[in-house]
């Protein structure tokens, strides 16, 4: 979940490294550093804090050279500090390494290297890599990296330089994303495409167990065993502007406003011209394979897990197949019952989430078919799954996910309808009805976005409280969980979400005078029961902010304040009801003066367990 960038060519590498790291700072921002080969040899500058701190240092004492590596860090081993920042070197300072991921056996390697006389200065696992490469170097940096990698266990993406071979940059990937940018007389590495898109649209996407040797004149791809690889260049067809704020104050706000387009793009060609049928050519299961599905496991982390909870209800209702939802970090360790009749759906915005990848591999090992829902073409889950449903949300930069989450909802609606129409568990008229409503969602999101003033006022009131609760039933409960997560991750207000029917089983003890309770009541068949739960918290002094469907009038009689979303099919309500909750979180964070796009202690892409 850190950011890597590297350059070799004719230009000043420092400038390219810094600009690339700016595009990746959302991946890690507690420290940053660069290593550049200069006339004085391999020179390193790094510092704790945001990238601006490093940029200031380099402004005072720039590093001039045509090859370099850079890194922006999210701490895993060792607290944020200058010495723990990347790049790391060996004792001779002749080798330099940047690293994403975790080296699981670093302690054993470190002890072995200390016995050989190596002296370590940081708390990181990464420093071990630079010492290990130095210890096996015999004049060929590629072979030295290959030897070192065979000793390492864990997940890693590496960029490696040595003063002994100053025209070469080595890149390695194992379970952590890394791409190669191909230019004219210059080449690049990056942990994500935005880092290099300003300079080239031609990329190689490294697979697990692959490495690359870059010089200014070319790129050589090979396996970690040294076997050469031939691969076509992937052409990036989206614009760098989509990764910028486009006039909004924050990426998160821009991405909230991007959602109507993301809905349209994700639906795209997956609805036939008549509007009465879902078409999903990317799902290559035959009708018989679909009929053979006996159960579905949905596996994801965080926000993607909350999308999976909606997906569970959608698939069970439409396809009548039992569905389990699992937090990916727990899935492997509970010995799940997986058979060839199990369909596993993994959900990951980045497609690189370590726990989700591990669960995917566990499922495949046990014979299950895997469908991936991801926002990144060419990501690990996309390559390793049997079928891939890409969510066309576009790049999402803010740490708190918004448009990636709602695009995942759209993907689940489409997939649920696809399963249902294939199995005959829903009538064609029902499919047409839901699809017609789905195609109106973008316009209805725009209606909600026109009412941000009312949500901003609510947000500015709730920030006076240290605790807050969300309640809901059915699909509303799934959305309440996501609303609560958004609020706490960017405003730092303690927030919890509960199934409204569970209040009497302990939660009511936490309700006291004036505590805000946000009550979702968009599900018609559960509305009366939800109202009863609202009365329970009102009787104990809570201030209730209700969220209902436009045209419903009863909620206003029991809640202190009501915000209404446009009328839609009950099944699709989460795609609308989450929008005001996203805005609520945004404005609460803003009112408290926090960094909306980069909340403390969090990173965008969680590529370690």
Active centre residues (catalytic): 2, 604
The set of residues, in sequence order, having a beta carbon less than 8 Å from that of 505 and lying 6+ positions away, is: none
Instruction: Count the helices and strands in the chain (H runs, E runs).
Output: 19, 25
CA atoms within 13 A on the CB side of 521: 32
Q: Are 199 and 167 in contact (CB under 8 A)?
A: no
CA distances from residue 146 to 151, 152, 154, 223, 294 in whole angstroms, order as listed = 9, 10, 15, 9, 44
Cα-based angle 178, 181, 182 (whole degrees, multiple of 5): 145
Q: What is the DSSP string of 73-96?
A: E--SSS-S-TTTSSPEE-TTS-EE
SS3 sequence of 318-350: HHCCCEEEEEHHHHHHHCCCCCCCEEEEEEECC
User: At which residue do the structure tokens 């050279």 appear?
Assistant: 65
Q: Are 73 and 32 in contact (CB under 8 A)?
A: yes
CA distances from residue 530 to 94, 411, 582 in whole angstroms, order as listed = 66, 28, 22
Phi and psi at residue 547, to the nearest 5°? -130, 120
Question: Residue 440 is encoded by which pair of tokens?
Answer: 């109106």
CA distance 85 to 80: 7
Q: Are 163 and 94 in contact (CB under 8 A)?
A: yes
CA distance 214 to 218: 6
Burial of 267 (0-12, 13-18, 19+ CB in 10 A): buried
Phi and psi at residue 386, to the nearest 5°? -75, -35
β partners of residue 95: 162
Q: How many CB atoms neighbour CB 348 within 10 A?
A: 32
């Amino acid at each position: 979940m850190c950011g890597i960038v590297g350059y070799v060519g004719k230009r000043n590498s420092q400038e390219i490294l810094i600009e690339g790291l700016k595009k990746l700072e959302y991946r890690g921002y507690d420290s940053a550093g660069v290593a550049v080969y200069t006339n004085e040899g391999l020179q390193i500058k790094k510092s704790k804090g945001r990238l601006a701190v490093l940029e200031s240092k380099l402004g005072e004492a720039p590093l001039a050279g045509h090859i370099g590596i850079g890194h922006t860090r999210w701490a895993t081993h060792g607290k944020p500090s200058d010495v723990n920042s990347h790049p790391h070197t060996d004792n001779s300072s002749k080798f330099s390494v940047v690293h994403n991921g975790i080296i699981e056996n670093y302690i054993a390697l470190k002890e072995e290297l200390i016995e050989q006389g190596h002296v370590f200065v940081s708390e990181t696992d990464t420093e071990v890599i630079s010492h290990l490469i130095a210890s096996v170097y015999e004049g060929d940096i590629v072979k030295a990296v290959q030897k070192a990698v065979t000793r390492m266990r864990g997940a890693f993406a590496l960029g490696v330089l040595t003063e002994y071979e100053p025209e070469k940059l080595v890149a390695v990937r194992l379970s952590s994303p890394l791409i190669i940018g191909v230019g004219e007389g210059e080449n690049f590495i990056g942990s994500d495409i935005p880092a290099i898109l300003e300079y080239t649209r031609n990329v190689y996407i490294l697979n697990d167990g692959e490495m690359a040797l870059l010089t200014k004149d070319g790129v050589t791809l090979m396996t970690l065993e040294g076997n050469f690889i031939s691969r076509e260049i992937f052409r990036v067809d989206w614009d760098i502007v989509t990764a910028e704020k486009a006039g909004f104050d924050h990426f998160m706000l821009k991405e909230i406003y991007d959602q109507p387009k993301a809905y349209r793009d994700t639906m795209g060609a997956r609805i036939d011209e008549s509007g009465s049928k879902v078409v999903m050519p990317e799902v290559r299961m035959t009708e018989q394979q679909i009929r053979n599905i006996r159960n579905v496991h949905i596996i994801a982390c965080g926000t993607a897990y909350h999308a999976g909870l909606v997906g569970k209800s959608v698939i069970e209702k439409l396809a009548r197949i039992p569905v389990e939802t699992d937090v990916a970090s727990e899935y492997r360790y509970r010995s799940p019952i997986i058979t060839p009749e199990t369909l596993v759906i993994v959900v990951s915005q980045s497609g690189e989430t370590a726990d989700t990848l591990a669960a995917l591999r566990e499922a495949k090992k046990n014979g299950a078919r895997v469908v991936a829902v991801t926002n990144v073409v060419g990501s690990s889950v996309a390559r390793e799954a049997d079928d891939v449903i890409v969510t066309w949300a576009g790049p999402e930069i803010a740490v708190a996910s918004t448009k990636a989450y709602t695009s995942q909802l759209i993907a689940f609606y489409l997939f649920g309808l696809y399963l249902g129409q294939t199995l005959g568990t829903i009538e064609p008229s029902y499919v047409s009805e839901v699809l017609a409503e789905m195609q109106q969602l973008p316009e209805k999101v725009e209606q909600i976005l026109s009412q941000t003033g009312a949500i901003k006022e609510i947000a500015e009131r709730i920030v006076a409280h240290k605790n807050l609760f969300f309640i809901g039933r059915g699909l509303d409960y799934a959305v309440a969980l996501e609303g609560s997560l958004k609020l706490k991750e960017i405003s730092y207000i303690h927030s919890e979400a509960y199934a409204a029917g569970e209040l009497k089983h302990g939660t009511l003890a936490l309700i006291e005078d004036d505590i805000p309770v946000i009550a979702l009541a968009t599900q018609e068949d559960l509305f009366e029961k939800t109202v009863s739960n609202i009365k329970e918290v009102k009787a104990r002094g809570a201030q209730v902010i209700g969220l209902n469907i436009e045209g419903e009038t009863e909620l206003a009689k029991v809640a202190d304040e009501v915000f209404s979303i446009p009328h839609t099919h009950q099944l699709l309500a989460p795609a609308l009801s989450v929008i005001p909750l996203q805005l609520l979180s945004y404005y609460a964070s803003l009112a408290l003066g926090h960094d909306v796009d980069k909340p403390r202690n969090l990173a965008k892409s969680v590529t370690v367990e």
